[in-house]
Each structure stands twice: as structure tokens, then as C-alpha cells.
């Protein structure tokens, strides 16, 4: 063959092969499905309000998580916890009350608003909160609800503080002794915690610090802000390559990796957070990054239904991470997929999920509405 003819043919062949390879690479890039953006509107707020209304005064079944010191501790939940004895356990009762406060704050015309306010006033009364404080002072109760229940109590206090309503002022005042006690417990406990708890359930350190920091920032509590910031940086500032592939565990309702990232987003300046996140979760930079929702196999199982919770908490963390960072906007679509998967299932669900998942759904939807 004429060598001058061979060279163009070779070039053409290489070009075709290169184009073919480029085409194959392009075809390998997954097509990202755009999720419908979930919205919290009045109709949905009315449905969500039914969940805590059904349980905040439902005493049994009940998991007290109580250390028994003597026969005198063997009392019914309504006596031990007159404010927060419903919804199966103390922390669920607390965030059930938070749910109603959050919905009333956003939707003043919600159905039965006056009756809901009266329920809140009856439960979060001065006398009931005094009894709750007394329980925490019990000999065996120093670590009670640390830090998950503490965090939700401060989220309730924060939301009351920012709700411009006469009822909110009464409730905030009544709750204040317990709020002060929990703040003091955080400040006392954090310097003693040498290692963070990197779990997907109640004791997750990053989650507990995030909600507490929100409260401290809202009310400008400098001592609490300082305690959280110092300990969080000590725990997390040098972390890298969080193993998202290990998540979720079978009964998680929080994402250890995403909760940590959402906490550090609260604490670090934008430029410093970007550098930290690139080391901690570098895969989030990829606009084609995907994250499978937590799949629930049996919503009548009180532990397996936790995975609906992980979907909501992942969503609020992803929205927090992307807040003010356009380069991470693609994470919001992942968050929306997670909310849309679990949201339809919490209505008419069994008590196993219904007593707490409404709060998670509301908080996740609130994150969307802030965007």
C-alpha cells in the first residue's frame, strides 16, 4: 500500500476509535432523574399535625429508658413526665410538641389552632416543667436522654423563641427552667467527652451538637456556642474520607457522615468548610453523585422503619451542606428523592413510625422551604 495513503487511513481509524470511546464514556454517565420538589403547604400541615396530636398524650405503650433506684421510682409515665409522657418515649414527646409549635408558627390558620395551643399550654405548664426538672435532678438520671432528647428540647425552645405569638411567650417562659438545665448539662458534659459517637441513632454526637448550636446562635448564648465549637473542632476538624458506602446500617435514622458535615457547615467559614468537605466527602463534588434511599422492608417493625427517618435526616443535612454553595446544588435533588420516597408512607402508618416520623418529615420539609 502507498505509504502516503496509509497515514490518512490510520489517522481516520484512530479518530473513529477515539470517537467511539468518547461515546462509550458519555453513555456510562448515569442520567440523573430530577425529583419533584416537596412542599409543606397548609393541607399537608393539617395532615402532619394529626400525628403528634394523636400521640402527645397517649401514655401507652411507653419506653421509659429508666434506671430504677427503688420502689418509689416505679411510677406511671404521666407522673414521672407530666409534660412529655406520650409518643412512646420522652424524646418523641418533646419533638411531637416541637412539631405542633413549628406548624402553628408557619400556618396560623391550621385546623383547630386554638385547641392545639391549649393542648400545648396544658402540657408545657409551669408545674409540669418543674416536675420534669426534678426528674433530671434524680440520683440516677444525670445522663437521661443525653444528647438526643437534649437536642430536641433545645430545638423546641429555639422555635418557641422565634415564634411571634402570645402563646409562645407563655410556653417559652414555662419551659425556661428545663431549657436552662439542658444548656448547663451540655456545657458540663462536652469537655468530658473525649471521643465522639459516630453512630446512626440517638447518641450521634454531631446531631446533638447541631441542634444545640442552632439554639445557642438564635438566643446568642456565647458560652454554649463556645463549648460546642471547641469540642466539635477537636472531634471532627481533621477527619477525612468518611465511608458513605457503609451507610446506612440496618436501623439507622441519622447519617453519621452527613450529620457531621452539616454540623461543620454551621461552624466553619465558607472557604474553610469547602476545603474541609473536599477532604471529608470528596464524592459530593461530583454533579453525577447518587445516593440510594434507605429502603424500608417492613414499616410495622419499630426498628426497620428507622430507615424512613434516615431519608428525612439525610435530606435536611444535604440541604444544609448546599446552603449558600451553588456548586453543591445537585445535592438538593438527592435530598428531594429521599423525602419523596418516605413522605407518603408516614400517613396512616403504624404507631411504630407515626409517633416520631412526622417531626422528621417537618424538619426536612422546613429545610426545603428555606432554600
pLDDT (tens digit, 0 to 9) for every residue of the chain, 371 residues total? 444 444 444 444 444 454 444 444 444 555 789 999 999 999 999 999 999 999 999 999 999 999 999 999 999 999 999 999 999 999 999 999 999 999 999 999 999 999 999 999 999 999 999 999 999 999 999 999 999 999 999 999 999 999 999 999 999 999 999 999 999 999 999 999 999 999 999 999 999 999 999 999 999 999 999 999 999 999 999 999 999 999 999 999 999 999 999 999 999 999 999 999 999 999 999 999 999 999 999 999 999 999 999 999 999 999 999 999 999 999 999 999 999 999 999 987 677 777 899 999 999 999 999 98
Q: Alpha-carbon distance 327 to 112, whole Å?
A: 43
Q: CA-CA distances (angstroms) from residue 72 to 68, 75, 76?
A: 9, 7, 11
| Per-residue model confidence (pLDDT) at position 22 | 46
Which of 84, 91, 178 lies closest to 134 in space, CA to CA? 178
Which of 183, 191, 192, 273 lies closest to 222 in space, CA to CA? 183
Cell of 166: 402570645
Question: Which residue, chain included where needed, has cell 412512646?
Answer: 88
189 in a structural domain: yes
CA angle 327, 291, 228 (to 5 degrees): 65
289 DSSP 8-state letter: -
Return the CA Rg of the chain.
Answer: 24
Residues of the domain holding 219: 51-370
Q: Alpha-carbon distance 240 to 40, whole Å?
A: 35
42 in a structural domain: no
Q: CA-CA distances (angstroms) from residue 139 to 127, 136, 215, 216, 296?
A: 21, 8, 27, 28, 39
Q: What is the number of domains present in the chain?
A: 1
Dihedral of alpha carbons 348, 352, 357, 359, sign: positive
CB atoms within 10 A of CB 133: 16
14 in a structural domain: no
Q: Alpha-carbon distance 223 to 217, whole Å?
A: 10
122 in a structural domain: yes
28 in a structural domain: no
Model confidence, pTM: 0.91
| Per-residue model confidence (pLDDT) at position 349 | 62
CB 283 within 8 A of CB 244: yes
328 in a structural domain: yes
| Per-residue model confidence (pLDDT) at position 30 | 56
Phi, psi of 42 (to 5 degrees): -60, -45
171 in a structural domain: yes
58 in a structural domain: yes
Amino acid at each position: 500500500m502507498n505509504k502516503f495513503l496509509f497515514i490518512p487511513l490510520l489517522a481516520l481509524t484512530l479518530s473513529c476509535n477515539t470517537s467511539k470511546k468518547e461515546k462509550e464514556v458519555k453513555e456510562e454517565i448515569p442520567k440523573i432523574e430530577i425529583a419533584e420538589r416537596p412542599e409543606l403547604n397548609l393541607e399537608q400541615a393539617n395532615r402532619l399535625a394529626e400525628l403528634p396530636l394523636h400521640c402527645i398524650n397517649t401514655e401507652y405503650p411507653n419506653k421509659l429508658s429508666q434506671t430504677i433506684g427503688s420502689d418509689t421510682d416505679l411510677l406511671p409515665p404521666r407522673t414521672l413526665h407530666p409534660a412529655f409522657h406520650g409518643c412512646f418515649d420522652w424524646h418523641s414527646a418533646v419533638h411531637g410538641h416541637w412539631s405542633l409549635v413549628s406548624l402553628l408558627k408557619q400556618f396560623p390558620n391550621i385546623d383547630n389552632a386554638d385547641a392545639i395551643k391549649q393542648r400545648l399550654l396544658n402540657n408545657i405548664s409551669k408545674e409540669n416543667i418543674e416536675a420534669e426538672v426534678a426528674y433530671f435532678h434524680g440520683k440516677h438520671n444525670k445522663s437521661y436522654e443525653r444528647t438526643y432528647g437534649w437536642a430536641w428540647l433545645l430545638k423546641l425552645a429555639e422555635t418557641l423563641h422565634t415564634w411571634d405569638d402570645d402563646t409562645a411567650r407563655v410556653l417559652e417562659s414555662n419551659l425556661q427552667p428545663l431549657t436552662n438545665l439542658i444548656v448547663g448539662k451540655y456545657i458540663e458534659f462536652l469537655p468530658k467527652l473525649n471521643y465522639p459517637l459516630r453512630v446512626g441513632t440517638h447518641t450521634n454526637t454531631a446531631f446533638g451538637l447541631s441542634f444545640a448550636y442552632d439554639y445557642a446562635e438564635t438566643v446568642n448564648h456565647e458560652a454554649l456556642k463556645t463549648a460546642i465549637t471547641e469540642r466539635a473542632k477537636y472531634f471532627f476538624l481533621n477527619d477525612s474520607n468518611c465511608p458513605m458506602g457503609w451507610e446506612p446500617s440496618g436501623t439507622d435514622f441519622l447519617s453519621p457522615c452527613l450529620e457531621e458535615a452539616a454540623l461543620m457547615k454551621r461552624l466553619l467559614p465558607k472557604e474553610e468548610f469547602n476545603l474541609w468537605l473536599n477532604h471529608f466527602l470528596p464524592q459530593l463534588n461530583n454533579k453525577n453523585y447518587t445516593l440510594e434511599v434507605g429502603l424500608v422492608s417492613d414499616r410495622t417493625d419499630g426498628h426497620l422503619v428507622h430507615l424512613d427517618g434516615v431519608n428525612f435526616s439525610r435530606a435536611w443535612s444535604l440541604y444544609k451542606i448546599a446552603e449558600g454553595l451553588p456548586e453543591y446544588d445537585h445535592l438538593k435533588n438527592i435530598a428531594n428523592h429521599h423525602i419523596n420516597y418516605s413522605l407518603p408512607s408516614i400517613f396512616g402508618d403504624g404507631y411504630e413510625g407515626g409517633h416520631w416520623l412526622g417531626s422528621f418529615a417537618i424538619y426536612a420539609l422546613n429545610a426545603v422551604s428555606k432554600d
